Structure 1
Amino acid sequence: MKAYIDSSFITNPMGEYLKWLKCKTIYQLKYWGNHLRIGYLSKVSNTTFGRYNTLGTQCIVTNCTLGDFSYINSFSYVLNTKMGRYCSVGPNVKIAPGKHPTSVFVSTHPVTFNNQANLIKNYCTESKFNNNQPVTIGNDVWVGANSIIIDGVVIGNGAIIAANSLVVHDVGPYEIVGGNPARFIKKRFDDEQIKYLQRTEWWNKSEEWIEANISKFWNIENFVEPTLATV
């Protein structure tokens, strides 16, 4: 049986504050000039940021990549996720929280199939089930408050995940889904408008281009026009 130290005995508010301060300082110095903001007591590890990213209070973000302008609101738990640009993640969202086997394996308890470091005791010396799979989120995706996105899911550009949803299947570009489990509700725009947005990839345009055309963003009918396709 491996040794297990109960670290809760030595956990204290000052220690947690100092760990957060160290993490915040390291990352914000590393991304100096990219305007990264890490909220109070948020924990970040092995994560790559773009420009103008914000993490709210008490988030956990591990093994992730965030594109420009994407933000994660307070109390969210995001693991193993590649996120595009201009994504909005609401509060208390869980992304890639881990899986348990649902068939073939006799038990769903990890002591019977994985040698996880957080277990006090287990019966395995090696992992027999991959319980962490990456999530891919496109650009301009909105994930509503209290939603959960299960490991391995792919979310297309422009999609919306309604609040309090459990996403267990892939979501197509510009689809709105919701519920438990999340089901297709409707598309945000018609097919031709979606094709246009996918083709132009506005999220890859320069900040200057977006500033010059910002009024076009306020109505899809104004945005989808031939003159913009050549800019």
Structure 2
Amino acid sequence: MKAYLDSSFMMNPTGEYFKWLKCKSTYQLKNWGKHLRLGYLSVVSNTNFGRYNAIGSQCVVSNCTLGDFSYINSYSYVLNTTIGRYCSIGPNVKIAPGKHPASVFVSTHPVTFNNQGNLVKNYCSESKFKNYQPVTIGNDVWVGANSIIIDGITIGNGAIIAANSLVIKNVGAYEIVGGNPAKFIKKRFDEHQIQYLEEMQWWNKGEDWIQNNISKFWNIEDFVEPNLVTV
């Protein structure tokens, strides 16, 4: 009979601290000059960072890419996700936490359809259901606290996910959605303004350009006009 090791016997506060310290040092040295910050006891693996990224305390971030200036607040769990620039991920957010089959398969329990390493016993020697699918989040997206975004979702530029939402469908550019399940509430701006922002893609501008035009960011009517500083 196969013996199963309960690794929790080996866990202790000191060990967890040094694991975090190793992770923090490895990623911040690897991204030296990009001003990366990893919060206390956060676990990061197989993730690529841009510039000025910040991960809050006690997060799990795996198989992800973060664009410039995007941050993830404390106690969030983010897997298999591409996040654009200038995104704000609130606290206790879950993104791509994994799926279970809801039809065709007789059982929703993974021991009946997957050979996962985190399970004590499996009936399957190979995976029969793809329970992890990538999530794509555009630029300038705000995901409110305690929200869940299921696997395979795409969220457009400038969208807002209200706090405590469960997102099970794609979200369009500059849409505000909320609820369980999340439903369309309204668009942040009118169609002309959204088209202007989508075509302009201010998030790809240089830092000097944004600094020179920062006062225009405070009102959409000031921003959507042809006389922005071009330097």
Q: Specify every segment of 5 or more residues in structure 2 that has no aligned partner in the other structure, as ranges.
A: none
> What amino acid maps onto 1:8 in structure 2?
S
Q: Please report how far the alpha carbon of residue 6 of structure 1 lies from its aligned counterpart in structure 2 after TM superposition.
A: 0.4
Deviations 1:118-137 (A, max 9, x none): 11111000000000000000
Asked if the contact 1:200–1:229 (Cα under 8 Å) also holds between the matched residues in 2, the reply is no
1:213 alignment counterpart: 213
Helix, strand or coil at the partner of 2:215? helix
SS across alignment from 1:14 = helix
**Amino acid of the structure 1 residue aligned with 2:55:** L
Match of 2:227 in 1: 227
Letter in 1 for 2:91: P
Provide the rounded CA distance (Å) in 2 between the counterparts of 1:71 and 1:2. 43
Deviations 1:200-223 (A, max 9, x none): 000000000000000000000000
Q: Structure 1: how far apart are the matches of 2:9 and 2:200? A: 55
Superposed CA offset, 1:12-35 (max 9, x none): 000000000000000000000000
* 2:49 corresponds to: 49
Question: 1:63 is matched with which residue?
Answer: 63
**Structure 1 residue 4: Cα displacement:** 2.2
Query: 2:159 touches 2:176 (CA, 8 Å); kept in 1?
Result: yes
Alignment of 1:104-183 (within 5 A): 104-183=104-183
In 1, the alpha carbon distance for the partners of 2:229 and 2:184 equals 30
Task: Name the counterpart of 1:81.
Answer: 81
Q: C-alpha separation between the residues in 1 aligned to 2:2 and 2:208?
A: 57
Relative distance call for 1:32 and 1:133 in structure 2 (3 A) is: same
Tell me the equivalent position of 1:4.
4
Aligned match of 2:196: 196
Compute the displacement of 1:227 (Å). 2.3
Helix, strand or coil for the counterpart of 1:116? Answer: coil
Partner secondary structure for residue 228 of structure 2: helix
CA distance in 2, matches of 1:164, 1:103: 26
* CA–CA separation in structure 2 for the residues paired with 1:155 and 1:162: 13
- CA displacement 1:42-80 (0-9 Å, x = unmatched): 000000000000000000000000000000000000000
Contact 1:84-1:140 within 8 A present in 2 as well? yes
Please state how far the C-alpha of 1:226 moved relative to its aligned partner: 1.6
1: CA distance between counterparts of 2:213 and 2:228? 9
Tell me, what secondary structure is at the counterpart of 2:132? coil
Q: Which amino acid aligns with 2:173?
A: P
1:3 Cα offset (Å)? 3.7
Distance 1:223 1:2 in 2: 65
Taking a change above 3 Å as real, the CA distance of residues 229 and 181 of structure 1, as seen in their structure-2 partners, is: farther
What is the letter of the counterpart of residue 27 of structure 2? Answer: Y
Q: How many pairs were matched up?
A: 231
The alpha-carbon deviation at position 228 of structure 1 amounts to 3.1
TM, length-normalised to structure 1: 0.98
